[in-house]
Structure 1
Amino acid sequence: MIHLNDRWFRLVGIPVIALLGDWIFYDQINRQHGLSFWLDYGVSLVEASLLWTISRYGIYRSRKRYPTLSQTQQRIIFQVAWFILITGLFRLTTSAIYDRTMIWGYHYAPLRYLYNIAVGIFCVIPIAAIYEGLYLYRQWRLTYFEAEKLKKITLQTQLESLREQVKPHFLFNSLNTLQGLVMEGEKDQAVTFIINLSQVYRYLLQSNEQLIIPLAKELEFIRAYVDLLKTRFENGLLLHIDIAPDLLAYCLPPLTVQMLIENAVKHNRVSSSQPLTIRIYTDAAQNVVVVNNRQPKQSAVTSNRMGLTNIAAKYRLLNQADIIIHQTETTFQVSVPLLKTTPA
């Protein structure tokens, strides 16, 4: 149901428009004929009330017929036609009454009729503009926030889908590593790996349900995660962490760094003769930067960019700045912003 919600606008607007219209357009001629100001203002107040009510009904009808932002042009055309027609008929009728009854003490010439109609239309225009301006603003806000809400819901849906893909993806890679240890007869290492894997995977499941976590906690997990990787790659994987102590309490989406390390291992050769070096550090802009040397595998691994997509989706969901990816012939670098506090 359409509700104009304009009670205070009418209570203030009608007396003001009646006063201004009477003073601007009729004060001089009323003085010439010695008419009482209060009589003239009283009649003007009644006319303004009736004309406002009729015009308001036209606004109501236009909104009911053309309610959306995309129908603004049709709505305005409807209102303009309504105002010209109704105001013209109303002012023509009142002018005829005044002319025949000589309530003001004189007859109206034809030009006087046209003058009164023009004054009525002139007074209606600013009122109609205010009504339509407020309506457009409310419709724009409604459309904007609905779009933002839909965008957030879409991102959340995508993120949940990505989360469900990450969990089995990580487990699949870990089981491959464990299989390699078993096949090589490294039973002690396999047992240690299973224990570490259970701890890491427990953290993976728990932290993945949180929106953000402290950088210190993420790095704690990363050290354990890289130890798992070193079980297989040994000296082929090198990790250097250089984090400003005052930024350890800052936050980021969980598993952000883990996904970047996993990508690096997935797409590059890892061997003792050609170590894959991963450096994690913070910069002056309060970003955590993960950079690795590029040594692509001979058989290129198909990339669906799931990890980077997941990270980017999380930052969009948090309304934060985008991640920055920088690639050269020798390095691959990703910078992700750190958050000072938990977002609302």
Structure 2
Amino acid sequence: MTTGSILSSIHYADSIRRNRVSLSLMVLILAAVVPLAGNLIWGAAYFTDVQILLGGSVLNLLFFLTAFLINRKFSPAVTKIYPEPGQSVRRVLSWFVLYGAVSVTAFLLAMIIYSQTHLFGYHFNLTHTLWAVFAIGSGSLTAAGLTELIFAFSQWKNDLQELNQMEQRQLQAELDTVKQQVNPHFLFNCLNSLSVLISEAPATAEKFVDEMSKVYRYLLSVYGPDKEDDLVPLEAELRFIRSYIYLLETRYENGIRFVVEVADIYLSGQIAPLSLQVLVDNAVRHNIISPEATLQICIKTTATGQLEVSNNLQRRVVSMSFTEAGLATLISRYKLLFNQAGTIQVKEEPARFTVILPLIYT
């Protein structure tokens, strides 16, 4: 699933939630307004006469439902005129005027029709009408306040979503920086190794070129213009890292040793591309590598279906580097993509450094 599709799903879910809230408010408001209006229009007979109760309720429902739909249609115009957070009072007053004008107009129109037709024995009563107008005004003010609360909550969610998108863009920029740094550096080292192999071991040089081409094909597939997904199968990542391991083993010879023990049942799990490269580079960068002090890097799956990458510690003093930044960026990337489900565990013991990656199944 791509980041774009995830965000589209979020927008769709928000739209559904907003429609549900609007529908719930409509039902609650009409459930209160319709019987109140019926009582003010027909008095006690509204509740004692079944014909008036049913017929009057249906007619009142039609009038107030029409008013509600008109208000809902024109309500967004207020936020377009007064969109700023500091314009709450103007928005509430505008909604109050809109809701009050439409609702009172609908009510008075109903009164005129009921009075002219003497519907269910109705006769115009000024006192009841004024009370009804007052009740409608109070309800309109309450509705305006509720609308402002819903708008403020929606704005808060939008701001939070924009902040998350900014974090994702910043993270992508950091990843791009890491790639720009690691690719030339890695290529330079590979070419140095290749120049030595061509003269000393031509057969090994041919194998080296083949594995190097696999590495760069994979880099293009996960970060090139045709990239589709934010995740790759563990099986594909392992094929890449085995080629990458070959290049490192050729360069460092007996100074580095890899152990890969991954159960087949977990090969369909997915991880962020180049996760293993970041962790391997982090181990290589921060530890001494020599035939006398072999760096051992182990990649294996755990009994709980996670991916564990560990190495023995034989630290050398280095300044903050792009590989260390790459590990921090990888941790942030998993948190942003998968929330708590994608949390990376880092364990540092006196003699061993371990990183545990979650495998994602979609």
Confirm or deny a common fold (TM above 0.5).
Answer: yes
Where does residue 7 of structure 2 map in the other structure?
none
Q: CA deviation at 1:105?
A: 5.8
Q: CA deviation at 1:167?
A: 1.7
Please give the per-residue CA displacement for 1:129-175, whole angstroms capped at 9, x wherever unaligned. 78667766776776666665555555445434433333213213324
* Distance change (3 Å), C-alpha of 1:266 and 1:56: closer
* Distance change (3 Å), C-alpha of 1:23 and 1:205: same
| Residue 282 of structure 1 pairs with residue 298 of structure 2 | no
| Residue 340 of structure 1 pairs with residue 361 of structure 2 | yes
Where does residue 231 of structure 1 map in the other structure?
250
Question: 2 CA distance for matches of 1:39 and 1:260?
Answer: 74
Contact 1:270 1:276 in 2 (8 A): yes
Question: 1 CA distance for matches of 2:308 and 2:346?
Answer: 10
Moved more, 198-207 or 65-74: 65-74
Question: 1 CA distance for matches of 2:55 and 2:262?
Answer: 82
Please give the per-residue CA displacement for 1:257-303, whole angstroms capped at 9, x wherever unaligned. 23322221221111222221111111133221110111112x43442
TM-score, normalised to structure 1, is 0.67
Question: 1 CA distance for matches of 2:246 and 2:62?
Answer: 86
Moved more, 49-58 or 262-271: 49-58
Please give the per-residue CA displacement for 1:23-72, whole angstroms capped at 9, x wherever unaligned. 233332667xx9x9599889968985897699679846533322367755
Tell me, what secondary structure is at the counterpart of 1:326? strand
| Residue 25 of structure 1 pairs with residue 37 of structure 2 | no
Where does residue 347 of structure 2 map in the other structure?
326
Q: Which runs of 4+ in 1 moved over 4 A?
A: 12-19, 36-58, 68-74, 81-95, 103-109, 125-158, 176-179
Q: CA deviation at 1:335?
A: 1.4
Where does residue 199 of structure 1 map in the other structure?
210
| Residue 172 of structure 1 pairs with residue 183 of structure 2 | no
| Residue 250 of structure 1 pairs with residue 295 of structure 2 | no
Contact 1:22 1:40 in 2 (8 A): no
Q: CA deviation at 1:193?
A: 5.2
Q: Which is richer in helix?
A: 2
Report how many residues are paired: 321
* Distance change (3 Å), C-alpha of 1:70 and 1:244: farther
* Distance change (3 Å), C-alpha of 1:126 and 1:278: same
Within a 5 Å distance, the mapping from 1:93-112 to structure 2 comes to 108=126
Moved more, 133-142 or 266-275: 133-142
**What 5-or-longer segments of structure 1 have no aligned partner?**
none
* Distance change (3 Å), C-alpha of 1:258 and 1:118: same
- Superposed CA RMSD: 4.9
Contact 2:92 2:144 in 1 (8 A): no
Amino acid at match of 1:233: Y
Contact 2:100 2:136 in 1 (8 A): no
Please give the per-residue CA displacement for 1:86-132, whole angstroms capped at 9, x wherever unaligned. 9789989999xx9xxxx9668746xx565233232255467657866
Contact 1:233 1:271 in 2 (8 A): yes
Flag the structure with more relative contact order, 1 or 2, with Cα contacts below 8 A and sequence separation at least 6: 2
* Distance change (3 Å), C-alpha of 1:316 and 1:28: same
* Distance change (3 Å), C-alpha of 1:173 and 1:262: farther
* Distance change (3 Å), C-alpha of 1:157 and 1:215: same
Of 311, 321, 343, 1:303 maps to 321
Question: 1 CA distance for matches of 2:260 and 2:319?
Answer: 27
Contact 1:25 1:119 in 2 (8 A): no
* Distance change (3 Å), C-alpha of 1:269 and 1:94: closer
Contact 1:207 1:254 in 2 (8 A): no
Please give the per-residue CA displacement for 1:219-245, whole angstroms capped at 9, x wherever unaligned. 344334333333343332222222222
Tell me, what secondary structure is at the counterpart of 2:289? coil
Contact 1:207 1:213 in 2 (8 A): no
| Bigger radius of gyration | 1
Amino acid at match of 2:352: T
* Distance change (3 Å), C-alpha of 1:117 and 1:207: same
Amino acid at match of 1:340: Y
| Residue 65 of structure 1 pairs with residue 81 of structure 2 | yes
Tell me, what secondary structure is at the counterpart of 1:291? strand
* Distance change (3 Å), C-alpha of 1:199 and 1:73: farther
Tell me, what secondary structure is at the counterpart of 1:26? helix
